[in-house]
Structure 1
Amino acid sequence: MSEPDARPAHRSPSLLLGVLLGGSAGTALRWAAGRALPHEASGWPWGTLLVNAVGALLLGALLEALVRAGPDVGRRRALRVVLGSGLLGGLTTTSALALETVRLGEAGAPALAVAYAATTLVVGVAAAAAGVALAARWPRGRRS
């Protein structure tokens, strides 16, 4: 059943709908994290750091697991696009990172702004690598 994979993912109405729904769910989760972990303008944005770290970990694990499972077609392609681009793309946020970094600087905490941006990048890369490593340890024949 290769017909659904014949067209690019961005031209598949079902995949676009999946990305829309996944992205909406991810955005709602990010909003909830921001509400659960509020911060002052000059305070550390823990909610954004948390969602970006968790999103990087899960994206690393998802992509590694999908690569190990086989070619990017059919169900694996749908999972990559809907969960990776949709859910985890909606959960993670570069725009909030940028905005919060600028706000920290404007609030008179430029060193904290630089530390926050650098920490987010380091934690994100480490989390993605940890996700890849975790998925690499998962046995290939196991089904979830």
Structure 2
Amino acid sequence: MPHREELPGPSAGVRHDPRAVAAIVVGGALGTLARAALGQAWTHDPTTWPWATFVVNLVAAAVLGWTVTWLAVHRPRSKYRRPLIGTGLCGGLSTFSTMQLEIVRMLQAHAVLLAVGYTLVSIATGVAAAQLGTTLARRGAR
């Protein structure tokens, strides 16, 4: 058995394009700032619907669906649009972890029906938003 130093690590041989990383960082910063601003402007307590998180997740799903489809159809010269918009902007804008925290807080506040409804509606509308983005990108490609 080889010594520990001889085993390849999880990123052995992986090279990251610094421009792609920069695109992700810029997009992520923009998405995170937008989400934080909306979260500050649209506050809620654990017994009410968390509209800020719900809306940013839907917008991010729709934009991601549109972006991935549009880029697959058009294949632009720049290979940095997908990391900028998809991974960066949509990743920074959307927030599954905040959604989970809100669900836990709803349950702690004994708002069980709200928590279940929020979970189911968020998943269903997120999938629908991604499909809508995909459909709009395909229609625009014709």
With normalisation by structure 2, the TM-score equals 0.86
How far residue 82 of structure 1 moved from its aligned partner, in angstroms, is: 1.2
Written as runs of structure 1 = structure 2, the 5 A alignment for 1:110-129 is 110-129=112-131
3-state DSSP of counterpart to 2:48: coil
CA distance in structure 2 between the aligned counterparts of 1:14 and 1:58, rounded to whole angstroms: 22
Partner of 1:99: 101
Q: Which runs of 5+ in 2 are unaligned?
A: 1-12
3-state DSSP of counterpart to 1:66: helix
Runs of 4+ displaced beyond 4 Å? none
1:28 aligns with 2:33: yes
Written as runs of structure 1 = structure 2, the 5 A alignment for 1:130-141 is 130-139=132-141
With normalisation by structure 1, the TM-score equals 0.85
CA distance in structure 2 between the aligned counterparts of 1:26 and 1:67, rounded to whole angstroms: 22
Report percent identity of matched pairs.
38
CA distance in structure 1 between the aligned counterparts of 2:68 and 2:82, rounded to whole angstroms: 7
1:60 aligns with 2:62: no
RMSD across aligned positions (CA): 1.7
Q: Which runs of 5+ in 1 are unaligned?
A: 1-6
CA distance in structure 1 between the aligned counterparts of 2:80 and 2:100, rounded to whole angstroms: 30
CA distance in structure 1 between the aligned counterparts of 2:24 and 2:67, rounded to whole angstroms: 15
Q: Give the greater-gyration-radius structure (CA).
A: 2
Written as runs of structure 1 = structure 2, the 5 A alignment for 1:59-98 is 59-70=64-75, 74-75=77-78, 77-98=79-100
Is the CA contact (8 Å cut-off) linking 2:69 and 2:134 kept in structure 1?
yes
